[in-house]
Amino acid sequence: KPVIFSGMQPSSDSLHLGNYIGALSQWVGMQQTFDAFFCVVNLHAITVPQDPASLVKRTRSTAAQYIAAGIDPEQSTLFVQSHVPAHAELAWVLNTLTGFGEASRMTQFKDKSQRHGSDTASVGLFTYPILMAADILLYQADTVPVGEDQRQHVELTRDLAERFNTRYGQTFTVPTPQILKETAKIYDLQDPTAKMSKSAATEAGLLSILDDPAVTAKKIMRAVTDTDGEIRFDRELKPGVSNLLTIFAVLAGRTVESIEREFEGRGYGDLKKTIAEQVTNTFTPIRERTNELLTDPAELDRILAKAADRASEVAEKTLATVYDRFGLLRRR
Known binding-site residue numbers: 9-11, 18-19, 135, 147-149, 186, 195-199
Check 57, 112, 273, 306 and give the catalytic one: 112
Q: Which residue lies nearer to ligand TYM by CB, 125 or 293?
A: 125
Question: Looking at beta carbons only, is 263 or 315 nearer to ligand TYM?
Answer: 315
Q: Which of residues 178-207 bind ligand TYM (CB under 6 A)?
A: 185-186, 195-197
Residue 84 near ligand TYM by CB under 6 A: no
Task: Based on the residue annotation, tell me whether 181 is a catalytic residue of this protein.
Answer: no
Q: How far is the CB of 266 from ligand TYM (least distance, A)?
A: 27
Confirm or reject binding of residue 146 to ligand TYM (CB under 6 A): yes
Q: Tell which residue, 205, 207, 265, 195, has the closest CA to residue 232.
A: 265
DSSP string over 252-311: HT--HHHHHHHTTT--HHHHHHHHHHHHHHHHHHHHHHHHHHHT-HHHHHHHHHHHHHHH
Separation CA 281–CA 96 (nearest Å)? 48
d(Cα 52, Cα 41) in Å, to the nearest integer?
15
Whether residue 110 lies in the annotated active site: no
Under DSSP, the state recorded for 211 is S
CA-based nearest residue to 210, from 285, 278, 272, 274? 285
8 Å CB contact between 210 and 231: no
Is 23 a binding residue for ligand TYM by CB under 6 A? The answer is yes
Are the beta carbons of 254 and 278 closer than 8 angstroms? Answer: no
Q: CB of 303 within 8 A of CB of 71?
A: no
Is 198 noted as a catalytic residue in this protein? yes
Cβ proximity to ligand TYM: between 41 and 209 the closer is: 41
Contact stretch for ligand TYM (CB under 6 A) within 90-98, 146-154, 159-167, 223-231: 146-154
Interface pick for ligand TYM out of 3, 14, 19, 127 (rule CB under 6 A): 19
Residues recorded for the chain: 332
Which residues of the chain form beta strands (DSSP E)? 3-8, 35-40, 77-80, 143-145, 176-178
**Per CB under 6 A, does 177 bind ligand TYM?**
no
User: Could you say which of 57, 198, 273, 306 is catalytic?
Assistant: 198
Q: Does 307 sit near ligand TYM (CB under 6 A)?
A: no
Catalytic residues: 112, 195, 198
List contacts with ligand TYM (CB under 6 A): 5-9, 18-19, 21-23, 41, 44, 132, 135-136, 144, 146-147, 149-150, 153, 185-186, 195-197
